[in-house]
């Protein structure tokens, strides 16, 4: 009986590991080909931007909230106030961003963590379209210490503090480092878009912008 339970527990852990690995692979694929249009001349910056400015004293993490669907994201520093829609995976296993005709909309990976709950919630958005900048066009300019707010369906506003901003080259890309949790038990947020330069041969960007933030307060 005990042996059977152990085998069942081991099988369950293997399933969870495989599901996580599949998601990370999908996110990496999403970063490689989320868009096939060139960025505007004044596109996102490249390189690691976490060290810009003076050292920032970050606030302590707040206790995670229960699960509730995200409705809107506000990034005051960037002038972003955008609706959030649930998205799944496409046929390749990549997170499906919002359609290009909804360039001002942010996608939330609906099979993952909800923003404010314990774990890592994933929000994706376009950097630009063929005609104009998109919702996450200035994402790479965000700096540690800045605030990201997510309005939830339960009436609460999850306040996140940015603690890391990276522009990660696609070569030797480490998906777990980019998207995995930074500290166990926290409610974390990842904002993801394309970055670097546009490669016209492969029709993809050369990097991903990944903003990491964690829950530091709750409003209503």
Q: How much is the pLDDT for 89?
A: 80
The tens digit of pLDDT for each residue in 3-40 reads 444 444 444 544 444 444 445 545 544 444 443 333 33
Does residue 65 contact residue 119 with C-beta atoms inside 8 Å?
no
Give the number of residues written for the chain: 220
Question: Is residue 159 over pLDDT 50?
Answer: yes
- Cα distances (angstroms) measured from residue 94 to each of 4, 23, 58, 124: 35, 7, 32, 11
Q: Please give the Cα distance from 205 to 134 (Å, whole number).
A: 15
**pTM for the structure as a whole:** 0.75
The tens digit of pLDDT for each residue in 101-153 reads 899 999 999 999 999 999 999 999 998 887 889 999 999 999 999 999 999 99
Query: What's the whole-number mean pLDDT along residues 52-69?
Result: 88
Could you give the domains of the chain?
Answer: 2-219 (2.40.260.10)
Count the Cβ atoms, other than its own, within 10 Å of residue 24: 18
Question: Is residue 189 over pLDDT 90?
Answer: yes
Q: How much is the pLDDT for 81?
A: 97
User: Parallel, antiparallel, or unpaired for β 106-109 and 70-75?
Assistant: unpaired
Averaged pLDDT score across all residues of the chain: 78
Surface-to-core class of residue 53, CB atoms within 10 Å of its CB (0-12 exposed, 13-18 middle, 19+ buried): exposed
Q: Please give the Cα distance from 21 to 9 (Å, whole number).
A: 18
SS3 category, 76:
helix
Q: How much is the pLDDT for 174?
A: 72
Q: Please give the Cα distance from 181 to 207 (Å, whole number).
A: 20
Question: Is residue 154 over pLDDT 90?
Answer: yes
């Amino acid at each position: 009986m005990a042996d059977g339970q152990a085998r069942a527990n081991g099988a369950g852990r293997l399933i969870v590991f495989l599901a996580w690995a599949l998601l990370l692979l999908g996110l990496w694929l999403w970063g490689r080909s989320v868009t096939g249009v060139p960025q505007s001349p004044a596109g996102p910056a490249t390189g690691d931007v976490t060290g810009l400015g003076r050292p920032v004293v970050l606030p302590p993490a707040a206790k995670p909230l229960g699960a509730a669907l995200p409705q809107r994201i506000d990034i005051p520093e960037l002038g972003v106030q955008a609706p959030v829609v649930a998205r799944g995976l496409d046929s390749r296993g990549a997170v499906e961003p919002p359609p290009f005709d909804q360039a001002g909309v942010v996608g939330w990976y609906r099979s993952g963590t909800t923003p404010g709950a314990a774990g890592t919630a994933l929000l994706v958005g376009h950097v630009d379209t063929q005609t104009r900048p998109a919702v996450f066009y200035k994402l790479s300019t965000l700096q540690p210490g800045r605030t990201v707010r997510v309005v939830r369906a339960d009436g609460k506003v999850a306040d996140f503090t940015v603690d890391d901003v990276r522009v990660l080259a696609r070569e030797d890309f480490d998906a777990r480092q980019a998207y995995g949790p930074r500290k166990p038990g926290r409610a974390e947020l990842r904002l993801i878009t394309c970055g670097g330069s546009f490669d016209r041969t492969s029709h993809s960007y050369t990097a991903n912008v990944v903003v990491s933030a964690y829950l530091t307060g709750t409003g209503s």
